[in-house]
């Protein structure tokens, strides 16, 4: 029997392909962090739109920029976990 004829296998393959097309990479997040991190680009990429908007708005003022620089440095250590969390969300959304 052809294993591709099994609907559950086909569904799993389609879900895996959809995940691979939509998943986020740690390297991509770090590139955005390095070049546009003070504007929150890496957070937009990882689906953290609310905190990305706050980061962007803070970076527009001198006082806020100080806060954003600290946040920028902290995010350097958070990016792997944020990426993992986003990929888990994507996998969950594809599975429903």
pLDDT tens track for 46-78? 999 999 999 999 999 999 999 999 999 999 999
Check if the beta carbon of residue 37 is closer than 8 Å to that of residue 71: no
Distance between first and last Cα of the chain: 28
Domains of the chain: total: 1
Residues 72 and 38 sit within 8 Å (Cβ to Cβ): yes
Q: How many CB atoms lie within 10 A of CB 86?
A: 18
Residue 61 tokens read as 């003022």
| Tens of pLDDT, residues 18-53 | 999 999 999 999 999 999 999 999 999 999 999 999
**What's the alpha-carbon Rg for the chain, to the nearest Å?**
18
- φ, ψ dihedrals at 87, nearest 5°: -65, -35
- The boundaries of the domain holding residue 68 are 3-95
Predicted TM-score (pTM) of this structure? 0.90
């Amino acid at each position: 029997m052809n294993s591709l004829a099994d609907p559950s296998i086909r569904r799993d393959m389609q879900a895996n392909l959809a995940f691979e097309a939509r998943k986020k990479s740690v390297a991509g997040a770090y590139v955005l962090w390095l070049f546009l991190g003070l504007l929150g680009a890496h957070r937009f990429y990882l689906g953290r739109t609310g905190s990305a908007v706050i980061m962007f708005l803070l970076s527009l003022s001198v006082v806020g920029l100080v806060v954003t620089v600290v946040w920028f440095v902290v995010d350097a250590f958070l990016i792997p976990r944020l990426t993992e969390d986003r990929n888990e969300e994507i996998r969950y959304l594809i599975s429903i």
